[in-house]
Structure formats: structure tokens, C-alpha cells
Amino acid sequence: MYQVAQLIGGVWGAGGEGGELVVRDPADGSPVSSAPVATADEVGKAVEAARGVAAQWAATAPADRAAALHRAADAVAAAVDDLARATTAEMGKPLPDARGGVEAGVGTLRQYAELAPVRGGRTLHGATDALDFMTPQPRGVVAAITPWNDPVAVSCGLLGAALVTGNVVLHKPSERAPATGWLLAKALDSALPPGVLSLLTGGPETGAALAAQEVDVVAHVGATATGRAIAAAAARTGAKVLLENGGSDPLVVDGDVDPLWAAGQAALGAFANAGQICVAVERIYVHRDVAEDFTQALAERAEALRVGPGGDPRTELGPLVDRRHRDHVHGQVTAAVAQGARLRTGGTLPDGPGAFYPATVLADCRHDMTVVREETFGPVAAIVTVDSFSEALRCAADSPYGLAATVLTASMSHAQRAWRELPVGAVKVNAVFGGAPGGAAHPRRGSGHGYGYGPELLDEFTATKAVHLEAPGGGHW
């Protein structure tokens, strides 16, 4: 069992007066990790200690900060196996996926280490004997509050960008993956000056205590309701808020595509990581011409997935993160069925230990059902049949969220309409998880605001200062 320790003021093992939280393996219910719960008082002290070293880290040359981040990436790379095992044990995803998440995190740290020192400000053209320029500076103290669904990849993005731009960071990982957060912090801290990174563990109360502190930035990746609570707290302190929150991503299947290929795309988008991906396919608008063949093929793919513990190399569909989350997923499915949706496969709670949930295909959904409108975050494909591409686009656009969308079509004019008209951060045509490296987007509405990744995330953690220098009295220096 992992015994997680906090890192406060450069000291491992500090705090924890708020008690202990225990995480259970979602595959079998056995205890996996024990973590201290930070009290509000400890959170306050941690912020104070972090602020004490902020000026020194901010004054460290960007190249030296970047070198430290490279060393940190090496340390995370050396811990790939440990991090992947902890991720799988705590949140259940298949081990190769967990490993992929850690490797993605290492890649992100290296990218930020390379990009940060070469991102400058700009010079301005004012009076010829004056100097005018704009320069980015660290914002100061950053609170990073992260989720469990891809814990290392997500945390490396926020932590890497915030640290390399000269901020000190207090990281509060998810209470569902504290050992993963602890192993990551140990690796990063080994390459950083003491106190630059702090680790606080605990649940929503610890996160709320951190978000209420006088920090400079609160960066949150997680549920929309949490993001809104954090934004309200930060409105009282004046902290800048960066929110990457929930989604209900649509998949539009046009009438002119091969329904079997489209079903493969839908299965990948809806069932990977048991649907627990912010940009998972949550709702499908399929043209009536291909609806039946598509639905049948998707149900077959769902039934073919090998279900098992994440640690078993044959597993394609692991458990959900825990039973509380499974109740949420199953609640949406049963409500949809009660309102007239038809279960083509799945939708029943399995016997036995753990938080397993079958890949589920729900046909005859309506656009106003909760399973369609809200985030499900489970292996559930909710299908709405539509009569035209225009109807599909209209429904896809009508959402409280605005994270991403995918359109499968053979028509270039439909593809063009899709990217122009959909009010979301990312539009993918003919590939559910497509996208070039370095892409970054603004989520919209309930999905948050600010760049959550990509080179632009570096700018989110700096404040730009405009500087004007001229000689005294209009003369010489």
C-alpha cells in the first residue's frame, strides 16, 4: 500500500492533521493508497512558505529553470513504470494506457523546457531615444488542482508550464489518485530547488481551501461544477483562474460515410479509458440513412471488448474509477431507458467486486435526455438519429459545454460548415482523436476558459509588463 506524504515548504511528510484518506483499487476494492488530508490551516502555511521562495525562483535565469525542468523530466521518465502502476492501481485504466499517459507527461515537460526560454516579449517603436518593450514575468504563486482520469499527463502540463515560467506551484492532485500525485511530486522535486513545488493531498475541502488562498493563479482541470466554485472563490481573492472542465463532445455521423468505419471511430471515442476522457465521444448524431448499420456495428464492437483489471495485459476495458462514479453513469443510462431509449448492449451492473461497467450502446436517444446533454464520463454511446446534416450540426452546437467535436463526413462542404459553425474549442474531421502536436484551443461555456495546454499555456502563467525607459530630463543617462 502506498503511504503518501505531503511536501510543504520543501519538507516531505509535513501536515496531515485533517485525517487520512484511503483509495481502493477499482478492479477489486482492495486498499491501494493512504494519504494525509491537509487542513485549511496547513494549506495556508504551505502557501505562505511557497511565497517565501517565489522571488528567488522568479529571478532564476530562464535557461536555468528550463535545465531544471529537463532534469525533472528525466526523473519522471525514470519512474515511468512506478507511475503507470500507481495510476492503474488507483483509477483502473489499462496499464499500457497509464504508461502512455506518463510518457505523454514526460514529453510535455520536455517541450515546455525547450519552448519557455525562447518565448520572449516584443520591442515597441516609440520615441527614438527611448526604449519600449513588453516582457512576460512570472505571476508568482500557482495553485494547480487536478483530476484522476489521466493524472500524470494532465498534471505535467500545468506543473511544467507554471514552473518553467518562474512560478512556485502548490499541487493538489485528485483524492482518487494521491499516490500517483505523490510519485510525480517526488520525481519533480528531486530536480527543483526546495520549496518551489509543494504537494497537498486531500479531497474537495482541501482543494477549496487552496482555491480560497491569496494565490496568483488557480489552475483547475476537472468537473464544471468544481470549476465554477473555484471561479467564485478566486473572484474574492483576485487570483487569475484557468479552467479546463467537463465536456459532452458530440460525434456527427453523416449519411455518406461507411457505417462500419464510423462505428470503429465511435467505439474508440466512447470506450477508450472507459469513456473517462474529457474529449470522449459522449453523444452521437447519426444520419438515418446509415443509423441501423452503424448502431449494429457499434454494439458488436462494444461486446467484443475484453473487460478486466487494468493490470491484465489482455484488458481493453478496465473498471470505472469507483462505485460512486459507476452509480452516476448507471443513473444516466437507466433514466434514458425509462424515457424511451433502447439498450442495444450493456447497461446492466455486473456482479462481483470492483467498479466495472459494460460498454453500453443506447439507441433512440433524444437530444433533451440527460445522458445526451450532460457529461456521462463512462463507456456509454448515446445515439440520436437525425434526418439531415444540418439537424446534426444544430444539435451538436446546442450544449452547455464547448470542449471539442468530431464530424465524420465525405463532404468537404459539410466539413467546412462543421469547423466554422460548431462553438467548441477543437473540431476534428474524420478522426476522433486527431490533431497535430502543439495545437491549443480555448474551451467554451461550461468547459472552461484559457489555454489548458500547448505553447500558449506558457503565456497563461506569465503576466506581460509594458516598459518605457527614457533618460532623465530628456537628456542623457
Residues that bind ligand NAD (CB under 6 A): 145-149, 154, 172, 174-175, 203-204, 207-208, 211, 221-223, 226, 229-230, 244-247, 278, 375, 377, 403, 443, 447-448, 452
Find the catalytic residue in 244, 282, 374, 375. 244
Q: Which is nearer to ligand NAD, 229 or 463 (CB)?
A: 229
Min. distance of Cβ 116 from ligand NAD in angstroms?
Answer: 21
Q: How far is the CB of 151 from ligand NAD (least distance, A)?
A: 9
Q: Which residue is nearest to ligand NAD (CB)?
A: 207
Cβ 16 to ligand NAD shortest distance, Å: 16
Let me know if 395 is a catalytic residue. Answer: no
CA angle at 366 for the pair 360 and 434, rounded to the nearest 5°: 60
Of 140 and 443, the one with the shorter C-beta distance to ligand NAD is: 443
Indicate the Cα dihedral angle 172, 243, 91, 326, nearest 10°.
130
Q: In angstroms, what is the minimal distance from the CB of 203 to ligand NAD? A: 5
Q: Find how far residue 160's CA is from the centre of its chain.
A: 14
Closer Cβ to ligand NAD, 145 or 395, answer by number: 145
- Shortest Å, Cβ 3 to ligand NAD: 19
Considering the complex, state which of residue 245 and residue 295 has its C-beta at the smaller distance from ligand NAD. 245
Minimum Å distance from CB 321 to ligand NAD?
Answer: 8
90, 156, 175, 278: the active-site residue? 278
Q: Please say which residue, 140 or 222, places its beta carbon nearer to ligand NAD.
A: 222
Identity of the residue, 300 or 456, whose beta carbon is nearer to ligand NAD in the bound complex: 456
Catalytic amino acids?
A: 244, 278
